[in-house]
């Protein structure tokens, strides 16, 4: 087995791993990024698209936000729809002028990969049989295959940025982590459609048939979702049926939902999940490797970015000042934000989805909560400050 060495070994080239690598590069810290998929797959995996202002600021500081500033669409509000009416939540007015930016996760990932390649720093795609070892020691190791060769990468620290199904979290010895989770009895059927968005802002719609969301990825691409069964077979849905469901759930008088060719469709399960702590020995978990939120609050990508900002700062402090205090605080610092986002995502999900097996009492409570948010400035402000992202560190 050929032996290699770096300062920080990063498993996973999603938003968390790539952003961490970039922040470390700017601080003069070496890293190697290992990704088991190919570049094309990673760059075209359709996922999140709502960036908090802090995420935009982080990518700007990291010097990878040129295209984001040119092409990202700044939004100052969202709309809640229930009982056939829309109610605008003016996010910026309620949350100290802060905004959100619509820019696809695919584009964030493309920008980060391009920057890494331009810097000629190690980013290995299509690695196989990745495993982490000796995480309780000062020289943890990552073993993997690449180009038909078996390699061992010795590191000072390993960052597990390999998502929910990765290998890092399961490598932590049994009994160390506590996990907390909730599965929801529904999922989202999402489409990407080649049609300009029919509304200037996102619409979160509560409907007797189930939740629907109108979102977008660019001035010419709409992203739309409908609540479905958690294990829904997407092939059961023709394009016509999807548009009919969207028309019914999002329809309001005097407004038209424009239809167009569906470019991509898929089903996402809904889950809340957290492990504590987010670290063991020299292995630090970041992003979806440590926590999952249902997408209703648009928090998954933003939480991943917040984690690696904390981790990068702690690593820089460790290397520059020789002090481990921030690294030791990493998990606690992140978990405060994680749990706030968990609560917000659960709350939005519970308020907006049809609850399978729910009764009229559940429905009345949801509508009461929605009316409260739509009519009370304080209630709307609470939604707004969580949606645009709280300052917690």
Nearest distance from C-beta of residue 286 to ligand FAD, angstroms: 6
Identify the residue among 104, 140, 160, 166 touching ligand FAD (CB under 6 A).
166
130 is an interface residue for ligand FAD by CB under 6 A:
yes
- CA–CA separation, 269 vs 44, rounded Å? 19
Whichever of 127 and 351 has its CB closer to ligand FAD, that residue is: 127
Nearest distance from C-beta of residue 190 to ligand FAD, angstroms: 7
Question: Is residue 356 annotated as a catalytic residue, yes or no?
Answer: no
Whether residue 272 contacts residue 181, with contact meaning beta carbons closer than 8 Å, is answered with yes
Q: 123-124 and 31-34 as β-strands: parallel, antiparallel, unpaired? A: parallel
- CA–CA separation, 290 vs 140, rounded Å? 19
Whichever of 65 and 290 has its CB closer to ligand FAD, that residue is: 290
Tokens of 117: 């390649």
348 is an interface residue for ligand FAD by CB under 6 A:
no
Question: Is residue 103 annotated as a catalytic residue, yes or no?
Answer: no
101 is an interface residue for ligand FAD by CB under 6 A:
no
Identify the residue among 6, 8, 10, 12 touching ligand FAD (CB under 6 A).
12
Identify the residue among 11, 115, 214, 283 touching ligand FAD (CB under 6 A).
11
Q: Which residues of 278-301 are buried (b: 16+ CB within 10 A; e: fewer)?
A: bbbbbbbbbbbbbbbbbbbbbbbb
Tokens of 302: 């933003």
From 53, 352, 106, 370, select the one nearest 213 (Cα to Cα). 352
Identify the residue among 14, 72, 160, 389 touching ligand FAD (CB under 6 A).
14
Residue window 15-54: x/- pattern of binding to ligand FAD, with contact defined by CB under 6 A: xxx----------------xxxx----x----xxxx----
3-state secondary structure at position 235? helix
Question: Is residue 265 annotated as a catalytic residue, yes or no?
Answer: no
What is the full DSSP assignment across 158-210? Answer: EEE---TT-STGGGSPTTS-EEEEEEEEEEEEEEEESS--SSSS-EEE--TT-
Nearest distance from C-beta of residue 360 to ligand FAD, angstroms: 31
Whether residue 274 contacts residue 290, with contact meaning beta carbons closer than 8 Å, is answered with yes
Tokens of 208: 């007797």
Whether residue 102 contacts residue 73, with contact meaning beta carbons closer than 8 Å, is answered with yes
Whether residue 153 contacts residue 32, with contact meaning beta carbons closer than 8 Å, is answered with yes
Whichever of 229 and 363 has its CB closer to ligand FAD, that residue is: 229
Tokens of 262: 């569906």
Task: Tell which positions 279-308 bind ligand FAD, by CB under 6 A.
Answer: 287-288, 295, 298-302, 304
- CA–CA separation, 270 vs 102, rounded Å? 22
Whichever of 363 and 392 has its CB closer to ligand FAD, that residue is: 392
CA atoms within 13 A on the CB side of 194: 4
Residue window 219-258: x/- pattern of binding to ligand FAD, with contact defined by CB under 6 A: ----------------------------------------
Nearest distance from C-beta of residue 281 to ligand FAD, angstroms: 19
User: Helices (DSSP H) in the chain: which residue ranges?
Assistant: 15-26, 39-43, 53-61, 66-71, 91-94, 105-118, 239-250, 300-321, 325-352, 360-375, 377-388
Whichever of 286 and 327 has its CB closer to ligand FAD, that residue is: 286
Whichever of 197 and 287 has its CB closer to ligand FAD, that residue is: 287
187 is an interface residue for ligand FAD by CB under 6 A:
no
105 is an interface residue for ligand FAD by CB under 6 A:
yes
| DSSP classification of residue 139 | S
- CA–CA separation, 179 vs 274, rounded Å? 6
Residue window 303-342: x/- pattern of binding to ligand FAD, with contact defined by CB under 6 A: -x--------------------------------------
Identify the residue among 62, 167, 191, 192 touching ligand FAD (CB under 6 A).
167
From 182, 215, 178, 177, select the one nearest 196 (Cα to Cα). 215
Nearest distance from C-beta of residue 221 to ligand FAD, angstroms: 14
State the catalytic residues: 75, 204, 295, 299, 387
Q: Contact positions toward ligand FAD, by CB under 6 A? A: 11-17, 34-37, 42, 47-50, 105, 127, 130, 161-163, 166-167, 268, 287-288, 295, 298-302, 304
């Amino acid at each position: 087995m050929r032996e290699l060495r770096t300062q920080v070994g990063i498993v996973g080239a999603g938003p968390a791993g790539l952003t961490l690598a970039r922040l470390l590069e700017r601080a003069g810290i070496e890293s190697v990024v290992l990704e088991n998929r190919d570049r094309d797959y990673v760059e075209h995996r359709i996922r999140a698209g709502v960036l908090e202002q802090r995420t935009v600021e982080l990518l700007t500081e990291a010097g990878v936000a040129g295209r984001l500033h040119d092409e990202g669409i700044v939004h100052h509000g969202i709309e809640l729809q229930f009982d056939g009416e829309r109610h605008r939540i003016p996010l910026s007015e309620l949350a100290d002028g802060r905004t959100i930016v619509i820019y696809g996760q695919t584009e964030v990932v493309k920008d980060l990969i391009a920057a890494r390649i331009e810097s000629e720093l190690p980013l290995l795609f299509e690695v196989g049989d990745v495993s982490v070892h000796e995480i309780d020691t000062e020289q943890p190791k990552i073993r993997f295959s690449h180009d038909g060769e078996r390699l061992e990468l010795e590191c000072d620290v390993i960052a597990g940025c390999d998502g929910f199904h990765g290998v890092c979290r399961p490598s932590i010895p049994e009994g160390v982590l506590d996990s907390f989770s909730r599965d929801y009895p529904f999922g989202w059927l999402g489409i990407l459609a080649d049609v300009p968005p029919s509304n200037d802002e996102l619409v979160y719609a509560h409907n007797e048939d189930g939740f629907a969301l109108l979102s977008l990825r660019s001035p010419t691409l709409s992203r739309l979702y409908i609540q479905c069964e958690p294990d829904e077979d997407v092939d059961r849905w023709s394009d016509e049926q999807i548009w009919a469901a969207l028309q019914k759930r999002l329809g309001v008088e005097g407004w038209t939902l424009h239809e167009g060719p569906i470019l991509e469709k898929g089903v996402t399960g809904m889950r809340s999940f957290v492990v504590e702590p987010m670290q063991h020995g020299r292995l630090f978990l970041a992003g979806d490797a440590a926590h999952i939120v249902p997408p209703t609050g648009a928090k998954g990508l933003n939480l991943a970015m917040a984690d690696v900002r904390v981790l990068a700062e702690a690593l820089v402090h460790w290397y520059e000042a020789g002090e481990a205090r921030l690294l030791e605080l990493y998990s606690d610092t992140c978990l405060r934000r994680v749990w706030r986002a968990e609560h917000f995502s659960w709350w939005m999900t519970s308020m907006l989805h049809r609850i399978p097996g729910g009764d009229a009492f559940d429905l009345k409570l949801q509508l009461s909560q929605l009316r409260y948010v739509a009519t009370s400035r304080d209630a709307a402000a609470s939604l707004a400050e969580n949606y645009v992202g709280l300052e917690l560190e």
